[in-house]
A and B are shown apart, each in its own frame.
Chain A
Amino acid sequence: MRIATSTLSQFVLNGSQNSQQQLAQLEQDVSTGNDVTQASDNPLAYDEASQTQATVAQLNGYSNAISSATTATTANNSAMTEIYKLVSQASENATSVSSTMSTSQIKAVGTQASSLLSQLTSIVNQQDSNGNYLFGGTNNQPPIDTSTGTYNTSANGATTSTEVSPGNSVQTSIAAGHPGTPPADGFLYDSSTGVDVLAALKQTVTDLNNGDASAVQNDLPALTNALNLISSYVGSTSANMSAVSTASTANQSQITSEDNHLNTLTQTNLPNATVQLQQIQNQYEATLEAGSRILGLSILNYLGSTTTG
């Protein structure tokens, strides 16, 4: 093919433009660390990265949920353990009473039991940093009316759950419950068995304060039932803690995995990019070198020497 002079310069220009475009892209990839920043960079990778990023955001949301679930289930378990100890102590106190004890001795035990009842009320009515009652149901009521020492029947028995992973919720609140109308089940009252922890404790305290040893002995089965009810809550809250912990581990592992996947999709492979940068740099230099040699060549360069020669 016949070559026009402009064709040669066009080849050089196109070659250098091509190299410069590749160099600019590689330079950007290396300096920003990302080779996919917008969809057009790699539509397929961007689409996958975009979905992965949404997944990461959801997982981070679950991290927050897990964090608050951990706090809640730990507080629940701690409260149940404390209440179990209190009721257990009260039961031991009641068991210690015998017919050989004097009335004053029994009343002294009653004083201790009264203190335990007071501590139980304090734990059951505890509030979080926002002033919400931890065990007063979802309508946020104090479970025990401190002025009367009786159940606050306006508190409901509803509990809340936290979704700690897609489709997996863990119960993060427990209710105290009450035998009102309608009754509300909880760790202080269970309608199916009729176990009433507060009533059992109060009856025991009353009987102790009356110095009535035989009545106290009669209170023991109710206290045992109360212990069993609370024990079941110690177990369930512990299981909830464990479920949250498991979810936390799985969530963290998945975040790490998705993050790595996302970075693989979008971030520059520096070794590859560096090698490519060197290759394109060589290609650019070769284009310039060839151009500088060819573009300077013309018959004009030789006409003068022939004439003078």
Chain B
Amino acid sequence: MAVTNIGLNASLWMGSQALSANQTAIQTTGNNIANINTPGYARQRANFATDVQTGANGELDMGTQVTSIENLTSSLLNTLVQQSLGAKGYADNQATMTSTVQEALGEQFSTSSSSSTSGTTQAGEGSIQGALTTFFTDFQNLANDPTSSSARQVVAQDAQTLASNLNTAYQRLQTTQAQLATDAGNITSQVNQLSQQIASLNQQIVAVQASGGNTNDLSDSQEEDVEQLSSLVNVTATNESNGSVKVTLADNPSVVLVSGNDSNGQGTTQSLSVTYSATGNPPLTVSGSTTGSLGAGVPSSGSLGSDLDVANNVIGSPAANGNSGLLGQLDSVAAALISAVNTQNKAGYDLNGNAGGNFFTGTGAGDIAVSSTITSNPSTIAAASTSGDTLDGSNALAISQIETNNSDIIPAFQSMVSNLGETVSTAAGNQTSQDQITEQVQNQRDSVSGVSIDEEMTNLINFQQSYAASARFLTTISSLYDTLLNMAPPTG
């Protein structure tokens, strides 16, 4: 095979190209090492290719050149990470917020320290169930001693404690719901900011690509912003041919948050906002600046979706405004208590022989209170079934038996608390499993895009040695030049 002689000048060019290519590779390696902890950064690789020149004598191998700096990413894995982050954002927020709701309800066990060895489990302070059982036990005690002013006073006081506990739990749930609305507002602000950033990056990427520049780092930033957005609200990101990305709500693709394909070639955004009304049904809704209200349960995932779910479904609405979730159930329990106790109290007679009146006032957990007639004069509690029979406590006993006879009070409350516990426990379980899923997907992506110091250092040594060898090659060619020049006869 004939070997084409390329000449010393061409050799010098080849050596110079090799130095340049290895220098670029070293710079790329340095960039990878420098960005090892940069969120969203995907490692880059300098792609080498033989520099082949074609001439009259055929192909001439002119060494090497860097044809491109490639971002090592997988669009499939990126999409999986985005989806996983949306679910993770939902699961994380759900675990935190449902736990907060459980705290707000305030149902806990505590251990009394009365026993020397092990205490007895009892209802914690502020417990509604504890107050309910105490209230009914007080009526049982009153039934056994209906003329006792202290027994009547205890009934009135513990009834006030029960009403207060219901009021407090109700208010705390509403406060938590308002806090969720504030949190949702903060999240939509972040969503809007990220949308603007993505739109801005869209413009830059389109412009740089149009001029033939490298958009690897801009794309990394864009990917990072989309991932952050995904954890806040479940979105679908579609890569456009010009390098921009279009972001829509996964629940409703017609709701476009970011588009880089408008007529001016610029990115545009749609902002989200939340509306909260404690008396609304649902209380918390999300709207788009151009599409209006997104409807119940939209978005369904991401932190924002979780806020909506906890506010609208877990806490829910009072009986008067939708009657759902904990607020609705708490209202139902309070309403059942008010109705049952009032009905029975009115069926009896007080210590003065007068017919009993309403024991409680109000309609639900938010406004239940003990009648001022009872609190100011506990002798008006109708303990007797017969007028004038002051030693008859049978009506008080009947009130105490509401505890076991009425499934809409204590059993309903227990069921409500257990269901909430199940929700919190499930949310915690989902958080754990979603963390693991996200970790696995991120590890898979890191196996493609993540930086390895060992790998980069190995590459660095390779490139360093190639660079040194190329420099030696140039030195050799240079000495050949010197030899040639020394062969020429001295002038003058």
Question: What CA separation (Å) do A263 and B121 show in the bound complex?
Answer: 6
B292: chain A residues within 8 A (beta carbon): none
Instruction: Report yes or no: A130 in contact with B145, Cβ–Cβ below 8 A.
Output: yes
Give bound CA distance, A69 to B145, whole Å: 10
> A235-264: which have CB < 8 Å to B?
259, 262-263
| Complex CA–CA separation, A69 to B393 (angstroms) | 13
Looking at A73-81, A184-192, A206-214, A298-306, the stretch in contact with chain B turns out to be A298-306
Candidates B122, B123, B390, B446; contact of A138 at CB < 8 Å: B390
- Given known contacts A60-B137, A138-B391, A160-B393, is B403 in contact with A37 (CB within 8 Å)? no
Could you tell me how many residues of chain A have their Cβ less than 8 Å away from some Cβ of chain B? 60
* B453 on interface, CB distance cutoff 8 Å: yes
Which residues in A have their C-beta under 8 angstroms from that of B121? 34, 49, 53, 262-263, 265-267
**Cα-based distance from A42 to B429 in the complex (angstroms):** 12
For chain B residues 374-399, which have a beta carbon within 8 Å of chain A?
384, 386, 388-394, 397
A299-B403 in contact given A6-B36, A46-B421 (Cβ < 8 Å): no
Query: What per-residue 1/0 map shows which CB atoms of A249-290 lie under 8 Å from chain B?
Result: 000000000010011011100000000000000000000000
User: Is B118's CB within 8 Å of the partner chain A?
Assistant: yes
Tell me how far the C-beta of A144 lies from the nearest C-beta in chain B, rounded to whole angstroms: 17
CB distance from B227 to the nearest CB of A (A): 15
A12: interface (CB < 8 Å)? no
B417→A299 contact, CB < 8 A: no
Give every chain A residue within 8 A of B130 (Cβ-Cβ): 57
B437: shortest Cβ distance to chain A, in Å? 13
The CB with the most chain B CB atoms within 10 A, among A42, A158, A172, is that of A158
A50 interface hit (Cβ, 8 Å) = yes
Please tell me if the beta carbons of B137 and A57 are within 8 angstroms of each other in the complex.
yes
Binary interface profile of B, 33-51, with partner A (CB < 8 Å = 1, else 0)? 0001100000000000000
A132: CB under 8 A from chain B? yes
Given known A39-B102, A57-B134, A140-B391, contact A130–B148 (CB-CB < 8 A): yes
CA distance A158 to B391 in the complex (A): 10
Q: Which residue of B lies closest to A156 (CB)?
A: B389
- Residue from A51, A65, A156, A262 with most neighbouring chain B CB atoms (10 Å): A65
Q: Does B109 have its Cβ within 8 Å of any Cβ on chain A?
A: yes
Complex: A300 Cα to B36 Cα, angstroms? 15
A145 — which chain B residues lie within 8 A by C-beta? none
**CA gap between A51 and B389 in the complex, in Å:** 35
Are the C-beta atoms of B118 and A38 separated by less than 8 Å?
A: no
Among B148, B417, B442: residue with most chain A CB under 10 A: B417
Taken residue by residue from 403 to 419, chain B's Cβ proximity to chain A (1 for < 8 Å, 0 otherwise) reads as 11000001000110110
A residues 30-85 touching B (CB-CB < 8 Å): 32-34, 36-43, 46-47, 49-51, 53-54, 57-58, 60-62, 64-65, 68-69
Given A2-B447, A46-B421, 7 more pairs with CB closer than 8 A: A5-B454, A37-B108, A39-B418, A40-B428, A53-B109, A54-B133, A68-B144
